[in-house]
A and B are shown apart, each in its own frame.
Chain A
């Protein structure tokens, strides 16, 4: 069970990284999808957005998923992130069957092992950048959550924006904050949905560079959904999704 290997709340992120890597080195993939299906109810009946996806993400691997709008990319992230339950097939994340896991288990997994970055940032408007980034550690009961968050913000180039609220940050700064939040707990898997979609080319490039750096330094695997072929080209592996199916 993944929780058995999880650090105590008082442990530092570095010690947790070491423990994660030990497990990752054991060779099991961080995520494995077998004939995974996801359907949403609608007035017209069930709409199947994922139609039997087979996929594996190895530990430390950076995987790009490309595809047109409405192809099921965001749904794939919701499924792996435990935000939605599969309606068919099997989704296993860090050894946990996400279809069978209860909400507490999925929440704990997200809190400790999965970081999420979205195109729309999804920051808490009423909290400062520092508070937003510290949230995962605060939830995990880490005592020096704010110090670690400050260091992480420094690392992504926002050391001078700690006390600013999201409305006072530019789009690029908001996304950097979201990335810092996703990586603060040194997760084993990061799910990124069009993280540069709202940004200009230069900012986008800087943001993706930061993400790649963080992945490499923490050993986290990343599933990166993007329209950008250049960005996809920089990943370890590249898959295309269309009409709810993996094409290559």
Chain B
């Protein structure tokens, strides 16, 4: 007696059917796999790189800061009695003292700006210095035969004609290159802008350089290591209690590298917006591809049902195949994302001297997989719903077996896609920004679908006289299909346009300002008595121009209208103005700067100091003329009235001072000057650098031409990166369009055959299909393009804070992409729909 299995879902049968189906291959789901892979690549790469860097910053907080807590003061060290008081705290076990300043290294006649760092034997308290050709840091920096040692970054060897073992002049002393510096654990605490390669020397060597003249631009850092068992909060409170009246910058590991962290977060969010676009487009494509696949299997499904398969078995079988295809797509996409992330992370982290671990990529990869899985499950439910509704009788009908999903399941599918987008939004560092982008995407998609739907409804029922117009109307008059096609083409156009518009704006805002406003040379650490001879040398040379000489000091903001700055801050994005010391200058009278509010003090004003802060400071605290700010200069607090607000000129390389004060009492305080100038030729600037080294050997010459070239390289790199992102979005859009078009291909083939039989020319069929897809392409170009431009504008305003200059490409790309998509879709339904080749028409007729 035969044993029948009457259960709805029999696992043995399912397993056997699945083996048979997969043995035949899952190539029918190739578009589904490709759409999944592209979305996983884009989203995965963004999250892995962002997550990898964030984890590395978090894990290395102590090493980046250089201690459990760090105190920084500028211009002059902490008084000895204060250092003694810190040392006397029972919670403090060790203090490491480091001095950082910009200087010039000389080898023979060659000179190069350097970032000098003098460290004590306790350095580093956390992390390890990476050295090549030396056993230890202390050995490399030690005094040997009367000459001190130095560890230098390898790039110095390419800027000066020196090698390991050679000697350098730094200030008034000579050091010997004993090691190459390959990793500096606290590099990020030095800020992002370094004028030259790092040169590490011992603290006792620094005094011999005589670079620490009064007012010299030096950072004095005191890193504290707390005793084992000391309560961190209490230890910090004890340190904070010693804060001098002039203030200091006290940081904890949580603050370490926060500027870099913010950059990483902003970049991750910006790229994440593109990732979300790829996610949405990819999921739309996967949805369409799964629906097409199920549709093409309608007869097979009906035959399964006819053979006794229960709906549950059919659903389980197809769900398993889609799951396998989804897993393959995810594996391919995440594999490519992982490889890209490893390469880029290695590049970025090595430049930041930031140790990172490949294991940090596992979390973001899992998050990407989970996010995409949510969306894919939604798409699969909608597609499988149609399979569940296929009756066995469909196998007995000729032609295609129409499949319609349950509208409730389509809603569940939409919910899945929505959940995937929501997961992406909450996972990005700036969820508000990401949510705005997601809402924009959903609105654009809804508008596109509604426009396609409305067009179909508008023309349905019309009976044009001509064949081409009749076919166009017939092709466009299915609301669901028209909506899906408009959406598929338009979302891709919107994504690419937004990226190009934002990139063009960023590119122009950076590139356009550099050549016009940047000086060619900046001299720093110019002593007051050196200003006159240097400016005279500039004025004598007709090939030099644009001279600007300003006093340059540092200040720390303490209070605004007697409220501590932490509490007075009203703009979180301007928090940087209270982080550490900021630029400060004084002026005898009005300067050429544009005023946004208030008025200058008169030339020769000698009363109590009044200030004209830059607009960033005003925005940070909502300052107006008449308010009072308290700030610390050279360790001494001053309270001044705000008399004017100055306009800020971003990205000019010209010295900009966050705070400008009247001359008294700063005129006589120990400080240095900064001189900037421009030259008609490189030779004139080079000649002046030579002359300046004679007039003022201590002065550091920062060659802005080289820095500007580096910035241009970065801009070019960013442009390439954006093009790559746009390319991925384009690919996702093309795959989605292919998936949507594939839904029609079989029906269009049958129709083309019928038209041929009644005497329609291939050209007429192609023209009709082209005019149909041109109508949808035009809708997609107009709405998708408008959405993209709007999205790009929003990104420039909300995320990048730059001027809106989308460029010709952003305006041109929507119609171009609309046309290309229309021609591709038209060709698929027209020219290529008719079988070509000897015997093909007869073969299809017989079928």
**Chain A residues at the B interface, C-beta cutoff of 8 Å:** 39-41, 74-75, 77-78, 81, 83-85, 87, 103-104, 107-112, 114, 116, 118, 120, 122-127, 131-132, 135-136, 138-141, 143, 145-146, 166-167, 181, 193, 198
Contact = CB atoms under 8 A, between A and B. Distances in A.
Given A84-B838, A126-B474, A126-B751, A136 B759 contact: yes
A109 B475 CA distance: 26
26 contacts: A40-B839, A40-B843, A74-B842, A77-B845, A84-B838, A84-B841, A103-B761, A107-B759, A107-B761, A107-B762, A110-B758, A111-B759, A111-B760, A112-B759, A116-B758, A122-B750, A124-B474, A124-B750, A125-B750, A135-B755, A136-B758, A136-B759, A141-B466, A143-B465, A146-B463, A167-B399
A122 B751 CA distance: 8
B467 interface: yes
A122 B760 contact: no
Nearest to A42: B839
Given A40-B842, A124-B754, A138-B465, 16 more contacts: A83-B842, A84-B838, A87-B838, A104-B761, A107-B759, A107-B762, A109-B759, A110-B758, A111-B758, A111-B760, A120-B398, A122-B753, A125-B399, A125-B751, A135-B467, A139-B758
B299 to A, nearest CB: 15
A139 B751 contact: no
B402 to A, nearest CB: 7
A110 B757 contact: yes
Most B C-beta atoms less than 10 A away, residue of A103, A122, A181: A122
Nearest to A144: B465
B758 A181 contact: yes
A118 B751 CA distance: 14
Contact of B755 (A74, A85, A114, A124): A124
A77 B841 CA distance: 11
B443 interface: no
A145 B464 CA distance: 11
A-B pairs with lowest CB-CB distance, top 7:
A111-B759, A40-B839, A78-B842, A110-B759, A83-B841, A107-B761, A122-B754
Interface in B724-774: 747, 750-751, 753-762, 764
Interface string B498-535: 00000000000000000000000000000000000000
A41 B839 contact: yes
B390 to A, nearest CB: 15
Contacts of B470: 131, 138
Contact of B846 (A74, A87, A103, A166): A74
A84 to B, nearest CB: 6
Interface in B360-407: 398-400, 402
B753 to A, nearest CB: 6
Contacts of B751: 124-126
B693 interface: no
B847 interface: yes
B395 to A, nearest CB: 16
B interface residue count range (under 10 / 10 to 19 / 20 to 34 / 35 or more): 35 or more
A138 B466 contact: yes
A166 B759 CA distance: 20
A120 to B, nearest CB: 7
A114 B756 CA distance: 12
A53 B138 CA distance: 101
A98 to B, nearest CB: 14
A123 B465 contact: no
A143 B464 CA distance: 11
B478 interface: yes
Nearest to A112: B759
B806 to A, nearest CB: 40
A39 B465 CA distance: 40
Nearest to B756: A83
Nearest to A69: B846
Contact of A84 (B398, B402, B762, B839): B839
Given A78-B845, A146-B463, A40 B838 contact: yes
Nearest to B837: A41
A135 B846 contact: no
A139 B764 CA distance: 9
B481 to A, nearest CB: 10
A107 B760 contact: yes
Contacts of B764: 139
A124 B475 CA distance: 11
B248 to A, nearest CB: 78
A127 B838 CA distance: 29
Given A74-B845, A78-B841, A84-B841, A125 B747 contact: yes
Interface string B672-699: 0000000000000000000000000000
A69 to B, nearest CB: 10
B757 A41 contact: no
Contacts of B842: 40, 74-75, 78, 83-84
Nearest to A198: B398
Contacts of B837: 41
Contacts of A126: 474-475, 478, 747, 751
A120 B847 contact: yes
Contacts of B750: 122, 124-125
Nearest to B466: A138
Contact of A138 (B467, B762, B838, B847): B467
A83 B839 CA distance: 9
A108 B466 CA distance: 16
Contacts of A77: 845
A83 B843 CA distance: 11
A136 B470 CA distance: 12
B624 to A, nearest CB: 69
A242 to B, nearest CB: 17
A131 B761 CA distance: 18
Nearest to A123: B754
Contact of A41 (B475, B762, B838): B838
A118 B754 CA distance: 10
A145 B474 CA distance: 17
A124 B755 CA distance: 8
Contacts of A103: 761-762
A52 B843 CA distance: 20
A114 B753 CA distance: 15
B467 A116 contact: no
A245 to B, nearest CB: 18
Nearest to A81: B757
A9 B463 CA distance: 19
A108 B839 contact: no
A236 to B, nearest CB: 24
Nearest to A117: B757
Contacts of B757: 81, 83, 110, 116, 118, 122
A220 B418 CA distance: 62
Contacts of A138: 465-467, 470
Contacts of A193: 845
Interface string B766-785: 00000000000000000000
Contacts of A181: 758
A107 B751 CA distance: 16
A105 to B, nearest CB: 11
Contacts of B759: 107-112, 114, 136, 139-140
Contacts of B756: 83, 107, 110
A77 B842 CA distance: 9
Contacts of A127: 474
Most A C-beta atoms less than 10 A away, residue of B478, B839, B843: B839
B463 to A, nearest CB: 7
Interface in B813-847: 837-839, 841-843, 845-847
Contacts of B843: 40
A107 B470 CA distance: 19
B754 A139 contact: no
Contacts of B761: 103-104, 107
